[in-house]
């Protein structure tokens, strides 16, 4: 059976073969193509709600512009602590030489993604939306902090990749936007393959030393982290920037609506299935 070290060797070869220069990879247009979707309407946070039904076509297109900016900002802000955490784990005694070697490529590619998304947001949105999550100190069982870190990595990357794949395949989407999602997905496919195997090995290594209470506490934290991550996709500042009133009320309505709840379950299905299969979660949570 292939180990994370075995996989890391293969992924290192792939990353070297597909090495790219973020500063010369794109020809940035002065402006994006007008009248096209920036994000498929089905991915927009208000889709399926009465608020969406009340918008005309121009308002929906404008909202898609800022929702894309929020999505790219979420990925960028999620990758920032990811890079920091990966750098902290370089040359750890816990990792093989092969894993350390691949982590260098992982860090390099995530840094390129931040440059790429930051450039897009500054050029076409006018800003990067700030991170809203707050980290609170807590006690960890042995190995729990390590497992939690790679769970965060999986959440950021699996949810982001769901959007990447959907956007890049949609011919309604503005060409530059599709291209950035395509490029991101290519690298993320390798990161996700490594993360799934490495996290499973980590959890298997440490879970036996956790009490039932500690395991239950970890699972509770993971569900809340998933829910908080989805909450970031419902950004009242985005609604305000798109010219919609009562952003906070819109957020609360959208989060609670059955249509958006069903979408979150569908979009999270692959990720949640992995968590349940590995034992990181005992059952599928409501999101």
Print the SS3 string covering 164-193. Answer: HHHHHCCCCECHHHHHHHHHHHHHHHHHHH
**At 76, which helix (H) or strand (E)?**
helix 57-89
CA distance 59 to 64: 9
**173 has which bridge partners?**
37
CATH code at position 174: 1.10.620
| Calpha distance 69→146 (Å, rounded) | 30
Domain assignment present for residue 236? The answer is yes
> What mean pLDDT do residues 259-272 have?
98
Output the CA angle 95-7-101, nearest 5 degrees.
45
- 246: helix, coil or strand? coil
Of the candidates 231, 213, 229, 221, the one whose C-alpha atom is nearest the C-alpha of residue 280 is 221
> Domain for residue 36, yes or no?
no
Q: Between 135 and 116, name the one with better pLDDT.
A: 116
Residue 283 resides in a domain: no
Residues 163, 180 contacting (CB under 8 angstroms):
no
Domain hosting 180: range is 4-18+56-278
46 within some domain: no
Asked if residue 25 is part of any domain, the answer here is no
pLDDT bracket for residue 134 (50, 70, 90): low
229: pLDDT strictly greater than 80: yes
How much is the average pLDDT of 128-139? 78
Q: Could you identify the residue written with the tokens 């998304």?
A: 117
Question: Average pLDDT for residues 103-127, to the nearest whole number?
Answer: 96
**Domain contains 184:** yes
| Residue 228 confidence class, pLDDT cut points 50, 70, 90 | very high
Output the pLDDT for position 1: 82
pLDDT band with cut points at 50, 70 and 90 for residue 94: confident
| Length of the chain in terms of residues written | 287
Instruction: Give the C-alpha separation, 49 to 42, whole Å.
Output: 11
Q: Does the residue 207 lie in any domain?
A: yes
Counting the structural domains of the chain, the total is 1
pLDDT at 132: 77
Q: How confident is the model at residue 139 (pLDDT cuts 50, 70, 90)?
A: confident
């Amino acid at each position: 059976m292939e180990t994370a070290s075995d996989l890391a060797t293969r992924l290192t070869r792939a990353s070297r073969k597909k090495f790219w220069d973020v500063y010369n990879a794109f020809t940035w247009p002065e402006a994006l193509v007008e009248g096209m979707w920036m994000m498929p309407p089905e991915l927009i946070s208000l889709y399926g709600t009465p608020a969406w039904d009340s918008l005309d076509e121009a308002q929906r297109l404008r909202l898609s512009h800022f929702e894309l900016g929020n999505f790219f900002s979420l990925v960028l802000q999620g990758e920032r602590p990811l890079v920091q955490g990966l750098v902290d784990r370089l040359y750890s005694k816990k990792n093989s030489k092969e894993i350390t070697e691949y982590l260098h490529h992982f860090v390099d590619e995530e840094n390129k993604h931040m440059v790429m998304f930051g450039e897009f947001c500054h050029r076409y949105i006018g800003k990067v939306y700030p991170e809203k999550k707050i980290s609170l100190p807590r006690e960890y069982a042995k190995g729990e902090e390590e497992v939690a870190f790679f769970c965060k990595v999986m959440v950021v990357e699996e949810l982001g990749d769901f959007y990447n794949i959907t956007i890049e395949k949609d011919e309604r989407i503005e060409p530059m936007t599709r291209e950035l999602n395509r490029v991101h997905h290519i690298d993320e496919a390798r990161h996700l393959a490594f993360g799934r195997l490495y996290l499973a090995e980590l959890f298997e290594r440490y879970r036996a030393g956790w009490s039932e209470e500690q395991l239950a506490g970890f699972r509770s934290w993971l569900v809340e982290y998933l829910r908080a991550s989805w909450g970031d996709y419902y950004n009242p500042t985005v609604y305000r920037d798109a010219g919609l009133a009562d952003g906070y009320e819109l957020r609360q309505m959208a989060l609670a609506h059955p249509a958006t709840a069903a979408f979150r379950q569908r979009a999270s299905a692959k990720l949640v299935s992995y968590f349940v299969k590995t034992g990181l979660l005992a059952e599928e949570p409501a999101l």
